[in-house]
Structure 1
């Protein structure tokens, strides 16, 4: 998934996550039994801006997912425990993990009995089917995960007619059968993220951010004020059938979420007016926080990749030499200084914690003279380039740095800043022909397909809702390799080696200019239990349900 300017992370390196979980309400059992931390209270959270969407079918940023995962569980879910265990998929609305056919193309689930939405209405098998169809009907950027691989998915995405033949839903028995066009090793993970969340079948196929629909999660939305904030409160109709699942976790009574830029949010936490921030602090405040607030401030690495995308369908980035020149021209250490020292320099598509990662020599070491020569060789001197970014700190200064670099090697570049909440949908519109700009990715689940298939597969290039901003649709050879790997049922050493080889091919073709992997921050007010309730999570980074007061 995408982060904001500083990313708000994803999978956390195992060695950094040795903290005990908080668990849920005092009366809860199962996963929360014996957990430390105080129950109750309202946690005040600051986010850097309005999340892209408060709609599980549309949101694809951490800012959105941290809230949405608490309200919209799916058939399966992730554990709510700190550390690597939180990447494990377990039953959610379904009674058990699915029965999977020998060919890996049919998944059979059965819903738990007595499920209901937060408005008290029953949750049925056909609600699940309608929820997945809604993703495709709205051209969601999540459609290209495993959902178009469901039988009939590609046709329904294009025509919006006929529904999904590949999902059979029986409300009488609660049985759900999902049939895939081809095996997909990451499909169960994709059902566990918010795109797999279930909403009522009569939910309109349009953005519901202003009035989020009912869900079956531990919390529900209340008082949504677009661009100002929102609240989440305990679900008054929470299903008893979910009491022994991670979905039941939730120490706080609720959350009061407001929006503030990094500098303001940092001050509010330092003075205990806000309890937590979902992004990194202002770069110029990091040294102060490490020194003055070390008892409630901590940095840790994430499985993330930060890069500049280059659209290979438009000039001048349709030329390999220009893309190579950009890679030689960017200086990861300079960018790290701009961003306050929160980067680890990188050159691979996959970050170190993801299966398939292989450390390899940088094909494009920093060399401005070589970059200038490549621009000359490509006949691209003076080519006009628009560099896209959003106004958040440090994205904007990073984009400004990038623009200066492009000018220094002979291009004629200018910066274009668009609002954060519409940035990714804007650059994901193929017709916009966005040339180059800032992008990042934080792991949704521990599988190389989540980076390479989602972000660089030429077959994933569509009209709107793209995650592949390289727009390398003509690279059929690369697509064939990625598709074959995505269909592998297991990540064996041989399969991981092939993923690493594809990663190297992507580097050779210079579709991205990768510059780093992100460190993320936990910074709490004095009200929160920093020792026991950091709430770090492999997928959502910060699991609000694990937060707790002292």
Structure 2
């Protein structure tokens, strides 16, 4: 079914009833598909490697490349999920479907670490017989150098994930001279690596399992390698890359499976990624078998067709992910709290649900913690008849009158505002609606879509003076810290850097103290931890540096020849485990 976007993108004051009626059968199909997909996950059981299914080339499509090939810098889900098949850290998330996929397991380390000194010391033993894809052995010196490199290259997560390592504070101040001599020691003879932390970190093993902590050769350049791939340890190596055209992965000749849980033997012989395939074209190409999978979100006007005629190869999968508006708290007009609160009151989250595909795959959210995580948001300040002093439990409808009042009280009425989005169909549709909403409450608003490959970096760099941006975000590992600390923690605002994940430039000392407490207090129970995250979530939303819009499931389509659909909660479709027939 094709829907004219001009019909949808009316002034925000227009009722959504007619819009909703156009999507009734889309939503029904989405709900049906979601239910069957969940059953598929729960009933799936691990199977041993079957050499009969080995071989073939997996063909992937994307509208654009995902940016740098440097695994310690890239923060796009498009490549992070790909890197899970290429690189390894000391730990990783279990390559399993369902809840087991959230479990941290040893990867290049041969077992879970010995933890001493009340959580301040971690001792790992490196597996013997490991090699990089260029044939060089993996050593403890490579491990130490890789963590120093995180700071030298300005990894986006250096401050938020690895600042507890002793000496990291100096590395953050003067990256070029980073040594971490006090924070990491190694014993080559016994293959041990010891991490010394300045204080406990309740999520340290999960952070070590994240892509930015992969182990690279000690002689890897101390700068972003851009289009040049680095030697890897996983089942694949990157052999060719033209960011304007394609990327190719082939088998790593030095890979030998050391743990099926951590990095299983791969099935496809090669993976080819083609760029420049728009989302509408990609859907048809996957249906026709020209490609096996597409990176972009499915355009909303294709969901009904997929649910009706392509349901067997359409997968609606759970994932802790969301869309939100990031508002720059350091420049007009959103350096005004009332202006930021106005946006939260005015945004029509029901419209955002529809643009993403309907309530079968998305739902409104008023805080920063999706329901798939512990400590999930359970309040709404910014809805009709709600306020920070009298919240409701869930979002009901926008309050445009309240929003207009707050804009006038803020003194920002009539100011020019530019909204930045990526140029995908879904995000441009959302962006056009939000632009109209901003105009409706009193701003001279314009929409500026950017190529998806550069949009995130542009939004994050304060030198670009981005006032407001539409951003999607998915969990790096299953914790509220990925949304409340990573996106809004003081240590994650780096002025004039494309790697500043804290797009609003938000820093609140009181909130940061609570974040630091929940990350470091070893005596907190699970219930106390969840309570603290909910408190932090409420404090953040009272300040409104962001406007949460929707939490979403992941909708994937695969070609008829792709079998053994293997979806993990962290890395989503695990490319190494699919069969091609």
Given the two structures, how large is their TM-score scaled by the length of structure 2?
0.86
Bigger Cα displacement from structure 2, 509-518 vs 396-405: 396-405
Match of 2:370 in 1: 351
Bigger Cα displacement from structure 2, 16-25 vs 137-146: 16-25
Alignment partner of 2:228 out of 211, 232, 257: 211
Structure 1 residue 421 and structure 2 residue 436: aligned?
A: no
Residues 162, 58 of structure 1: alpha-carbon distance in 2 compared, 3 angstrom cutoff: closer
Bigger Cα displacement from structure 2, 196-205 vs 410-419: 410-419
Residues 261, 22 of structure 1: alpha-carbon distance in 2 compared, 3 angstrom cutoff: farther
Residues in 2 aligned to 1:290 and 1:162: alpha-carbon distance in whole angstroms: 53
Residues 458, 364 of structure 1: alpha-carbon distance in 2 compared, 3 angstrom cutoff: farther
Structure 1 residue 276 and structure 2 residue 293: aligned?
A: yes
Alignment partner of 2:543 out of 476, 495, 509: 509
3-state SS of 2:155 partner: coil
Match of 1:256 in 2: 272
**CA drift at 1:431:** 3.1
**CA drift at 1:244:** 4.8
3-state SS of 1:413 partner: strand
Residues in 2 aligned to 1:324 and 1:367: alpha-carbon distance in whole angstroms: 11
Alignment partner of 2:263 out of 247, 265, 269: 247
Match of 1:174 in 2: 191
Structure 1 residue 130 and structure 2 residue 161: aligned?
A: no
Alignment partner of 2:406 out of 360, 374, 391: 374
Contact kept? 2:319, 2:569, Cα under 8 Å = no
Structure 2's unaligned 5+ residue stretches are 1-34, 385-397
Contact kept? 2:159, 2:491, Cα under 8 Å = no
Contact kept? 2:96, 2:261, Cα under 8 Å = no
Contact kept? 2:157, 2:492, Cα under 8 Å = no
Bigger Cα displacement from structure 2, 295-304 vs 283-292: 295-304
Residues in 1 aligned to 2:424 and 2:254: alpha-carbon distance in whole angstroms: 38
Residues in 1 aligned to 2:525 and 2:420: alpha-carbon distance in whole angstroms: 36
Match of 1:314 in 2: 331
Match of 1:76 in 2: 91
Structure 1 residue 449 and structure 2 residue 481: aligned?
A: yes
Residues in 2 aligned to 1:147 and 1:305: alpha-carbon distance in whole angstroms: 25
Residues in 2 aligned to 1:537 and 1:147: alpha-carbon distance in whole angstroms: 25
Contact kept? 2:95, 2:261, Cα under 8 Å = no
Structure 1 residue 488 and structure 2 residue 521: aligned?
A: yes
Residues in 1 aligned to 2:243 and 2:144: alpha-carbon distance in whole angstroms: 29
Structure 1 residue 87 and structure 2 residue 102: aligned?
A: yes
Residues in 2 aligned to 1:421 and 1:64: alpha-carbon distance in whole angstroms: 11
Structure 1 residue 478 and structure 2 residue 511: aligned?
A: yes
Structure 1 residue 334 and structure 2 residue 368: aligned?
A: no
**CA drift at 1:265:** 0.8
Match of 1:189 in 2: 206
Alignment partner of 2:573 out of 513, 533, 542: 542
Contact kept? 2:94, 2:101, Cα under 8 Å = yes
Bigger Cα displacement from structure 2, 108-117 vs 359-368: 359-368
Match of 1:289 in 2: 306
Residues 181, 518 of structure 1: alpha-carbon distance in 2 compared, 3 angstrom cutoff: same
CA RMSD of superposed structures (Å): 2.0
Residues in 2 aligned to 1:196 and 1:106: alpha-carbon distance in whole angstroms: 17
**CA drift at 1:22:** 6.7
Residues in 1 aligned to 2:221 and 2:47: alpha-carbon distance in whole angstroms: 34
Describe how 1:368-407 pairs up with structure 2 within 5 A. 368-407=400-439
Residues 216, 383 of structure 1: alpha-carbon distance in 2 compared, 3 angstrom cutoff: same
**CA drift at 1:220:** 0.8
3-state SS of 1:455 partner: coil
**CA drift at 1:169:** 2.2
3-state SS of 1:222 partner: strand
Describe how 1:508-527 pairs up with structure 2 within 5 A. 508-527=542-561
**1:179-203 residue CA offsets vs partner (Å, 9 max, x unmatched):** 1122111111111121111111111
Residues in 2 aligned to 1:146 and 1:23: alpha-carbon distance in whole angstroms: 34
**CA drift at 1:14:** 7.3
**CA drift at 1:39:** 2.5
3-state SS of 1:486 partner: helix
Residues in 1 aligned to 2:486 and 2:192: alpha-carbon distance in whole angstroms: 29
Alignment partner of 1:18 out of 26, 35, 42: 42
Contact kept? 1:24, 1:249, Cα under 8 Å = no
**1:86-144 residue CA offsets vs partner (Å, 9 max, x unmatched):** 11111100111111114211111010111110111111111111112212111121212
Aligned residues: 525
Residues in 2 aligned to 1:226 and 1:25: alpha-carbon distance in whole angstroms: 33
**1:21-79 residue CA offsets vs partner (Å, 9 max, x unmatched):** 6767546xxxxxxxxx8222211111332013222111112101121111110111111
Match of 1:363 in 2: 382
Contact kept? 1:309, 1:437, Cα under 8 Å = yes
Match of 2:21 in 1: none
**CA drift at 1:207:** 2.4
Residues in 1 aligned to 2:164 and 2:366: alpha-carbon distance in whole angstroms: 31
Given the two structures, how large is their TM-score scaled by the length of structure 1?
0.91
Residues 491, 302 of structure 1: alpha-carbon distance in 2 compared, 3 angstrom cutoff: farther
**1:153-180 residue CA offsets vs partner (Å, 9 max, x unmatched):** 1211221214112111233321101111
**CA drift at 1:384:** 1.8
